[in-house]
Structure 1
Amino acid sequence: MTEVLDEGPFFHGTKADLQVGDLLTAGFRSNYRPEVVMNHIYFTALPGGAGLAAELAAGEGEPRVYVVEPTGAFENDPNVTDKKFPGNPTRSYRSEEPLRIVGEMDDWPRQTPEDLQAWRDRLAAILESDRGEIIN
């Protein structure tokens, strides 16, 4: 029996323009380390977390938050749970299996321009340090 990590609902933030029924898959470049091709697809049970990821995502499109369902097994995201937030209070997950889009949120919590710049600055400092390694 597989341990149920979270009942959801689950969300994924991106700038990609997608449709209900589309599958999100691993194998794309990291938003934070473009030289790294990701082995997992990441998601969260917190709309605000997905919204922040959408705002910080690479690309020129509009930030979007999709409601997703995992199509296979998933695990706690070790990039945040093991290093920064033991116990997974961020409710962040990853899977090697696709996520199916089942809807789109249009009322997710938005960051102010000042908060987004602070996040970008914080992320840049982390990536420049040894703490910026991605567990892939």
Structure 2
Amino acid sequence: MCNDEWVPVSPANCHLLTGPFYHGTKVSLSVGDLLTAGFRSNYDDSVVMNHIYFTAVPKGAGLAAEMARGEGRPRVYVVVPTGGFEDDPNVTNKKFPGNPTRSYRSGHPLKIIGELESWEPHDPEFIRQLRSRVETGMGEILN
């Protein structure tokens, strides 16, 4: 789809997207578990998240998993939204027209239906630099 054909995703039209969708984290979860909002941000301890974030791009979920705080290995789960969702306004139209990262957010839980056994990890130096920028507040996560 060309950017001039882009239509914003909203709760009114999100049913037109069929996925698959992915969520990255370091938390060990099981098929059937629900991911919900209401937890602290991976990027700012002072922020409690009102939404749960996900993407249609496995490498994007992998980046979120690699950046996530906590112990454990990065994991990418295959998820299904249980309610309406919208484009993630933190990345949509910020650097590029439309939503090229295919990133979304929902106030409704995401149901885990599987886990990707393998996905393309990012270069460890890139992750280190990105963490440093996030911790010092210099720059956005997606440049």
Query: For each residue in 1:6-49, what CA deviation from the matched residue of structure 2 results, as whole angstroms up to 9, or x when unmatched?
Result: 32100000000000000000000000111100000000000000
Shift in CA distance, 112/128, structure 1 to aligned 2, threshold 3 Å: closer
Percent identity between the two aligned chains:
64
Distance 1:9 1:21 in 2: 16
**1:30 partner amino acid:** S
> 2:22 matched to 1:11?
yes
Query: Partner of 2:90: helix, strand, or coil?
Result: helix
**2:116 partner amino acid:** M
Q: Which residue of 1 aligns with 2:45?
A: 34
**1:2 partner amino acid:** A
TM-score between the two structures when normalised by the length of structure 2: 0.83
Query: Partner of 1:120: helix, strand, or coil?
Result: helix
When structure 1 is superposed on structure 2, of 71-80 and 2-11 the one drifting more is: 2-11
Among candidates 112, 117, 120, match of residue 106 of structure 1: 117
Distance 2:47 2:94 in 1: 19
Distance 1:94 1:46 in 2: 14
Q: Which residue of 1 aligns with 2:59?
A: 48
Query: Partner of 1:80: helix, strand, or coil?
Result: coil
> 2:69 matched to 1:58?
yes
Query: For each residue in 1:98-126, what CA deviation from the matched residue of structure 2 results, as whole angstroms up to 9, or x when unmatched?
Result: 0000000011111121121122233335x
Deviating beyond 3 angstroms after TM superposition, the runs of 4 or more aligned structure 1 residues are none
Q: Once superposed, what is the RMSD of the aligned Cα atoms?
A: 1.9
Q: How many pairs were matched up? A: 130
**2:128 partner amino acid:** Q
Distance 1:37 1:62 in 2: 23
When structure 1 is superposed on structure 2, of 78-87 and 100-109 the one drifting more is: 78-87
Distance 2:138 2:12 in 1: 37
Distance 1:46 1:16 in 2: 19
Distance 2:62 2:102 in 1: 14
Q: In structure 2, list runs of 5 or more residues that go unmatched.
A: 1-10
Q: In structure 1, list runs of 5 or more residues that go unmatched.
A: none
